[in-house]
């Protein structure tokens, strides 16, 4: 038994080490940021990034390295969801791509969520103009591998002159031959190629999902825009993309072919879902409304609720081009049948879940938001007028952005508020928090409810969080005595004198801080304190004692 366990352990260690190239630089253990890890890496090394949110715009120049999340080790898709490069806060406004890879031979990007990127102003060596491209990823002059990433909510929109146009909301590759494999490209924006631009080069595009990308203006191609390039385009699912130009799903020229793909629900203001050059061929695909070519079908693929998985009896199961290179992986426990998430026999399925390279994508299309902290917060005991804070944690397992719209409390006079700016948009597909604060103005116990309103229509809003605490009046005297009315400015003036007269002779309010009103320090607020203030304010008497 020990020998078996040792063999299994050695096998696991060998498989892990084979996935990681060269020296492994851990982020944040070895280097605190991804960019620092890249800078420290040499050709052949791996920069391995732990789960977390990294607000960076990563630049890889002339380095053949692997940049990966821990997904590369254990194939746990949760690492894709939880290792986020957020490019929304670039140091330079004209360089807003989440990841920029240029020159070199074959850099690799594996297993991340890329979001918030705004593209980079890039000089096109082909026509001499400047374009803003690559909201999520921009590559040029290399054969980059972009594999198993969730690339969502990025933009490539033109800015100031001399930028001519903008495209490649999720990915732009140019003047190279890139492999774009097993990615989800969702809710990205650009004037052309809102999902992917491949220009003046080549490459392989396998098992990608392009969903909900939107384009307006020049050139078209909301899902994919491929021009001047020779590519392999197989087992992609292209659904619900839109452009105001041509090619709601795919705009492609050259002598290319589209094989084993599903293309449905894409719209274009000009032309059909597929806007293709005359030398193009489409075969063994499922295209809504039909399309000329061998073995193309148009039946409803019967997508599952989440992730565009197929469900039996979908006509897209076991109906791909019948060649061994495009077969589904075999289920070792059920010979002759496909391994999930493929279905049926090992003959390839159409779409992103068919063929030898398909993966199980993380649940990017679910819409559940969850408050992960306790439903009650106790700020504990703090001094009156001090500030206490506590975090309310929540998580988003889907790709739609969750926004906390407002936070309202039951009793506005309790001194409760939010330290986090509201409205607050959380990072995509990850956990986040908002910070509540309490600044008690009165001593004593406090109980209340925080009503946290959000934009997720699938669950109840608001979340309700019980809040409590205790304010202690340890010392309310600040500076010097004599501030009988307790004003925040700690002024000792005629207003305090008037306040004491009203309190002592006219039934007025008691001093909010007896310690401050007891000027002569005899543990009583009386006429002696009033006389002291008269002497000080009108007769040049001594200053009141310090607290």
Residue pair 53/77 in contact (Cβ under 8 Å)? The answer is no
Buried b (16+ CB within 10 A) or exposed e, 355-385: bbbbbebbbbbbbebebebeeebebeebebb
DSSP E strands, 124-201: 130-133, 137-140, 145-147, 150-152, 155-156, 163-167, 171-174, 177-181, 184-186, 189-192, 196-199
DSSP E strands, 95-136: 95-96, 99-102, 108-110, 113-115, 119-123, 130-133
* Nearest-angstrom CA–CA distance, 257 and 282: 6
For residue 11, give the H/E element and its range: helix 2-19
* Nearest-angstrom CA–CA distance, 371 and 464: 10
Neighbours of 350 (CB within 10 A): 31
Instruction: Quote helix, strand, coil % in the chain, to nearest 5.
Output: 10, 35, 50
Q: Which tokens is 266 given?
A: 């894409």
Q: What is the CA radius of gyration of the chain?
A: 32
Residue pair 184/364 in contact (Cβ under 8 Å)? The answer is yes
- Long-range pairs, 323-330, Cβ under 8 A, ≥24: 325/356, 326/234, 326/235, 326/259, 326/260, 326/354, 326/355, 326/356, 327/355, 327/356, 328/354, 328/355, 328/356, 328/358, 329/356, 329/358
Report in angstroms the alpha-carbon separations of 2 from 14, 106, 280, 379, 470: 18, 41, 58, 52, 58
Buried b (16+ CB within 10 A) or exposed e, 46-55: bbbbebebbe
State the maximum Cα–Cα separation within the chain, in Å, rounded to a whole number.
107
Over its length of 547 residues, how does the chain's per-residue pLDDT go in tens digits? Answer: 333 333 333 333 334 444 687 999 999 999 999 999 999 999 999 999 999 989 999 999 999 999 999 999 999 998 998 899 999 999 999 999 999 999 999 999 999 999 999 999 999 888 889 999 999 999 999 999 999 999 998 999 998 789 999 999 999 999 999 999 999 999 899 999 999 999 998 899 999 999 989 997 778 899 999 999 999 999 999 999 999 999 999 999 988 999 999 999 999 988 789 999 999 999 999 999 999 999 999 999 999 866 899 998 999 999 999 998 899 999 999 999 999 999 999 999 999 999 999 998 877 765 556 666 667 899 988 877 789 999 887 766 555 567 899 999 999 889 999 999 999 887 554 567 889 999 987 778 999 999 999 887 777 889 899 999 988 765 677 778 998 887 767 788 999 999 999 999 999 988 888 888 999 988 889 999 999 999 999 999 999 988 8
> In this structure, are strands 376-383 and 274-276 parallel, antiparallel, or unpaired?
unpaired
pTM over 0.85: no
């Amino acid at each position: 038994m020990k020998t078996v366990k040792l063999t299994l352990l050695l096998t696991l260690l060998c498989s892990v080490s084979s996935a990681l190239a060269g020296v492994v630089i851990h982020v944040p253990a070895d280097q605190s940021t991804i960019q620092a890890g890249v800078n420290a890496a040499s050709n052949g090394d791996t920069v391995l990034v732990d789960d977390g949110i990294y607000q960076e715009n990563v630049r890889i120049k002339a380095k053949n390295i692997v940049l990966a999340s821990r997904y590369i080790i254990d194939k746990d898709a949760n690492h894709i969801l939880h290792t986020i490069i957020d490019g929304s806060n670039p140091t330079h406004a004209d360089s807003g791509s989440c990841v920029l890879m240029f020159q070199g031979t074959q850099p690799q990007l594996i297993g991340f969520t890329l979001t918030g990127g705004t593209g980079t102003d890039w000089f096109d060596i082909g026509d001499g103009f400047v374009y803003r491209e690559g909201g999520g990823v921009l590559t040029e002059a290399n054969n980059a591998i972009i594999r198993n990433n969730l690339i969502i909510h990025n933009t490539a929109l033109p800015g100031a002159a001399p930028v001519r146009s903008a495209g490649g909301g999720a990915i732009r590759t140019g003047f190279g031959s890139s492999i774009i494999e097993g990615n989800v490209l969702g809710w990205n924006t650009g004037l052309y190629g809102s999902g992917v631009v491949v220009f003046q080069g080549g490459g392989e595009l396998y098992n990608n999902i392009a969903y909900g990308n939107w384009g307006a203006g020049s050139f078209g191609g909301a899902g994919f825009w491929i021009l001047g390039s020779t590519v392999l385009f197989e087992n992609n699912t292209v659904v619900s993309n839109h452009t105001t130009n041509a090619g709601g799903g795919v705009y492609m020229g050259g002598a290319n072919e589209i094989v084993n793909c599903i293309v449905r629900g894409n719209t274009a203001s000009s032309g059909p879902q597929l806007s293709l050059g005359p030398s193009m061929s489409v075969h063994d695909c499922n295209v809504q409304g039909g399309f000329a070519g061998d073995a193309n079908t148009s039946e409803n693929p019967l997508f599952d609720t989440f992730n565009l998985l197929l469900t039996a009896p979908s006509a897209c199961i076991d109906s791909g081009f019948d060649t061994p290179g495009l077969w589904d992986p075999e289920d070792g426990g059920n010979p002759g049948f496909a391994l999930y998430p493929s279905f049926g026999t090992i003959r390839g399925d159409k779409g992103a879940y068919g063929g030898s390279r398909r993966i199980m994508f993380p649940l990017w299309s679910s819409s559940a938001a969850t408050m992960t902290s306790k439903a009650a917060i106790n700020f504990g005991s703090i001094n009156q007028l001090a500030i206490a804070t506590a975090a309310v944690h929540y998580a988003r397992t889907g790709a739609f952005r969750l926004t906390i719209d407002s936070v309202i409390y039951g009793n506005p006079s309790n001194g409760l508020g939010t330290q986090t700016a509201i409205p607050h948009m959380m990072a995509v597909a990850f956990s986040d928090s908002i910070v509540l604060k309490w600044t008690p103005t009165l001593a004593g116990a406090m109980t209340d409810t925080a009503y946290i309103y959000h934009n997720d229509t699938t669950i109840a809003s608001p979340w309700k969080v019980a809040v409590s605490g205790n304010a202690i009046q340890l010392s309310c005297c600040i500076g010097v005595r004599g501030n009988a009315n307790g004003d925040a400015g700690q002024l000792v003036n005629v207003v305090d004198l008037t306040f004491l007269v009203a309190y002592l002779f006219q039934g007025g309010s008691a001093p909010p801080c007896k310690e401050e009103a007891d000027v002569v320090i005899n543990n009583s607020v009386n006429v002696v304190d009033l006389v002291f203030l008269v002497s000080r304010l009108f007769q040049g008497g001594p200053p009141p004692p310090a607290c």
